[in-house]
Structure 1
Amino acid sequence: MKTKLMVAALALGVLGACSGASRDIPPPSLAGVEVTRAGLAKQLFGNKARPAALPTAPYGFYSKGCIAGAVELPETGPTWQAMRLSRNRNWGHPETIDFLKTLSRKAAALPGSNGLYIGDISQPAGGPMLTGHASHQIGLDADIWLMPASLGLDRQQRENISAVSMRRANGAYVNEKWSRYQQEVVKAAAKDPRVERIFIFPGAKVQMCDTETGDRSWLRKVRPWYGHHYHFHVRLKCPGNAPGCVAQDPPPPGDGCADARQWQRNILNPPPPDPNAPKPKPKRELTMADLPQSCQAVLAR
């Protein structure tokens, strides 16, 4: 039976702090607004065009949460352009927006680039998306195109231009498009203390492991993952003043290069399927009941 929450009045700035989805404080409510906890969260958040008018706060985990008070990355800046504007996914936590602006200035200082093309960050209130990402739900994830940016694109060009793939051999290696530029941008991102993880295709991680001759500590944050050969995915840590944000465990010790080379070997020589492995279960769509309770108030504002 569907459970419905009747929301009653909330003064701006009183959204309850929480320490994670399982210990979330029930949110205050708003009169006259009804939110169905059994409803598909992606439909509700995917159709919310503006951020919640509440103090900035991420709630939940990167793949199961929302964000109050998100701020917009301007469509165009001196060293960046937001891409695919029709998606309305250029919203995030203020730390994410500041990080992207800072990284774009570093990218613009490298030869052959005027800055960065920025892909999806989050929806205005975060939450599950109508299409695409499983994460990007709390305003602390961002996709950054690997190709150097020339800037100067109009809105239509930003919809139609294709990003450039950097992989060959199904991601086991980089291709001829990869250069020192890509490595320096990823390194600059990884060295920012706000960054928790960077996801990129295995061949890129192996290439960086093989060619980095200086400080290698930043490589620990760079993790191989499926896809991610048109862009790399940056994930920021939970901000210090965000008790409702559920942190990710730190990456394993070491530079992660042995793990990346194992990914590479598995691409080149896939292991035989395990006949005893259980069949994967179909992925279940998230409902509002799956998200922290504070996301009810975020959606309603």
Structure 2
Amino acid sequence: MRLSTVMRHLASAVVAFAAAVSGAMADPLAKDAFGAQRLPAATQAAAHGFYSKGCFAGGMAIATDGPNWQAMRLSRNRRWGHPEMIALLERFSREAAQDGWPGLLIGDVSQPRGGPMLSGHASHQIGLDADIWFLPMPNRRLSAGEREKLDFVSMLQPNSLYVDDRKWTPAHARLLHRAASYPNVERILVHPGVKKKLCDTVGGDRSWLRKVRPFWGHDSHFHIRIGCPAGSPGCRTQDAVPREEGCDQSLAWWFTEEPWRPAKGPAKPKARDVLRLSSLPSACEAVLAAPAPISEAAVTVSGRGTPMIATNAPPVAANAFAPTPERTIPLPQPRPYD
């Protein structure tokens, strides 16, 4: 092959490589773009897209410590959510304490601007999902190291689909009942064994059981999902849960072999590992480009205060045992609990 031909092929290869690199930079993996964000978009609160494919703006953080909660796995920086979700967690922690629950251990909510996560969840992308541990809050404040290493406690018997009665208490059922009582909570995901335990033991009004949905995993925590909030026209709703309690054949299916069989064929890549920024709602590019608040403290809910957001207010210290100071600009939103 002549040298000139070789040079032309080499030049073409270099151009193609440069174009590929340029394209990847212009349209990065969504998980990398959103996983790099340390603070929320300081704009009007809104959820964009679907729970497993979207983002959100105007996020708030739940403080690492509150009167009735402790946030876990702090290194993940996933204490962020739409203001309606953060307000719900604060209210839930306070009212669950009235039911005799010592306090919530709060797991992942969302990244500061949502989007696909670098690891873990497929959902939790639009600030409307949150995980709560079945382990009650201890009577002391855990260190940051303990919050990283503390083991999950499964509610199941070893190598079983059924709840271990040595671990399950009526207080667990009351906690789930309380979560289901909020109108904006549309779904609570639990392990099928936990759902069966509720079906077998709950008396009186059982209508709330329809919100409790069996799903893989969720034996050591439960997952709360709220509906699309007002002011979020780009938020895609999920199907309504059935009117029935869900203690029928749909639950019995989970106790057959079918749900637990390994998938056939080659493993498919996880969506987060291939999803590009261009695949998300177009509003998500603006969410990434939006300015951040001047500090995390200015957008952190720490007690019984109203969720606030600030872009030019002085930093406000996040006190774990006091209402959020009324120093920042109120975020316009409807009352979430009407």
TM-score calculated relative to the size of structure 1? 0.82
**Could you tell me how far apart the structure 1 residues matched to 2:142 and 2:160 are?**
29
* 1:246 aligned residue (213, 236, 245): 236
The question of 1:161 aligning with 2:150 is answered yes
Query: 1:274 Cα shift?
Result: 11
Q: Look up the equivalent residue of 1:245 and give its one-letter code.
A: C
Q: Look up the equivalent residue of 1:86 and give its one-letter code.
A: S
Q: Look up the equivalent residue of 2:235 and give its one-letter code.
A: C
The question of 1:144 aligning with 2:132 is answered yes
**Could you tell me how far apart the structure 1 residues matched to 2:238 and 2:102 are?**
33
**Could you tell me how far apart the structure 2 residues matched to 1:236 and 1:197 are?**
7
* 2:178 aligned residue (173, 188, 206): 188
**Could you tell me how far apart the structure 2 residues matched to 1:35 and 1:66 are?**
20
Q: Report the counterpart of residue 134 of structure 1 in structure 2.
A: 122
- 1:67-101 deviation per Cα after TM superposition (whole angstroms, max 9, x unaligned): 11100111111000111111100000111111111
Q: Secondary structure at the match of 2:275?
A: coil
Query: 1:254 Cα shift?
Result: 0.5
The question of 1:205 aligning with 2:192 is answered no
Query: 1:155 Cα shift?
Result: 1.6
Q: Report the counterpart of residue 81 of structure 1 in structure 2.
A: 70
Q: Look up the equivalent residue of 1:105 and give its one-letter code.
A: R
Aligned CA distance change for structure 1 residues 272 and 184 (closer, same or farther; 3 Å): closer
Q: Secondary structure at the match of 2:223?
A: strand
**Could you tell me how far apart the structure 2 residues matched to 1:261 and 1:273 are?**
16
Alpha carbons 1:35, 1:296 under 8 Å: kept: no
Q: Report the counterpart of residue 283 of structure 1 in structure 2.
A: 270
Q: Secondary structure at the match of 1:105?
A: helix
Q: Report the counterpart of residue 305 of structure 2 in structure 1.
A: none
How many pairs were matched up? 267
Query: 1:2 Cα shift?
Result: 6.7
**Could you tell me how far apart the structure 1 residues matched to 2:270 and 2:36 are?**
22
Query: 1:169 Cα shift?
Result: 5.5
Q: Secondary structure at the match of 1:168?
A: coil
- 1:280-301 deviation per Cα after TM superposition (whole angstroms, max 9, x unaligned): 6433421111100000010112
Alpha carbons 2:34, 2:288 under 8 Å: kept: yes
Q: How does 1:85-104 map to 2 (within 5 A)?
A: 85-104=74-93
- 1:89-132 deviation per Cα after TM superposition (whole angstroms, max 9, x unaligned): 00001111111111112222334x42100000000000000010
Q: How does 1:1-301 map to 2 (within 5 A)?
A: 36-37=26-27, 39-111=28-100, 113-150=101-138, 151-168=140-157, 170=159, 172-175=161-164, 176-258=166-248, 259-263=250-254, 265-266=255-256, 269-270=257-258, 281-284=268-271, 285-301=274-290
**Could you tell me how far apart the structure 1 residues matched to 2:262 and 2:155 are?**
31
Aligned CA distance change for structure 1 residues 62 and 4 (closer, same or farther; 3 Å): farther
Query: 1:170 Cα shift?
Result: 4.5
TM-score calculated relative to the size of structure 2? 0.74
**Could you tell me how far apart the structure 2 residues matched to 1:180 and 1:231 are?**
16
Structure 1 outlier segments of 4+, above 3 Å: 1-5, 269-275, 277-284
Q: Secondary structure at the match of 1:197?
A: strand
Structure 2 residues without counterparts, runs of 5 or longer: 1-18, 291-338
**Could you tell me how far apart the structure 2 residues matched to 1:261 and 1:169 are?**
20
Identity fraction in percent: 50
- 1:8-51 deviation per Cα after TM superposition (whole angstroms, max 9, x unaligned): xxxxxxxxxxxxxxxxxxxxxxxxxx9723x1000110011110
**Could you tell me how far apart the structure 2 residues matched to 1:274 and 1:168 are?**
22
Answer with 1 or 2: which has the greater Rg.
2
Aligned CA distance change for structure 1 residues 55 and 35 (closer, same or farther; 3 Å): farther
Q: Secondary structure at the match of 1:257?
A: coil
Q: Secondary structure at the match of 1:174?
A: coil
Q: Look up the equivalent residue of 2:161 and give its one-letter code.
A: A
**Could you tell me how far apart the structure 2 residues matched to 1:210 and 1:196 are?**
22
Q: Look up the equivalent residue of 1:243 and give its one-letter code.
A: P
- 1:180-204 deviation per Cα after TM superposition (whole angstroms, max 9, x unaligned): 1111111110111010111100010
Q: Secondary structure at the match of 1:101?
A: helix
Q: Look up the equivalent residue of 2:253 and give its one-letter code.
A: Q
Q: Look up the equivalent residue of 1:60 and give its one-letter code.
A: G
Q: Secondary structure at the match of 1:181?
A: helix
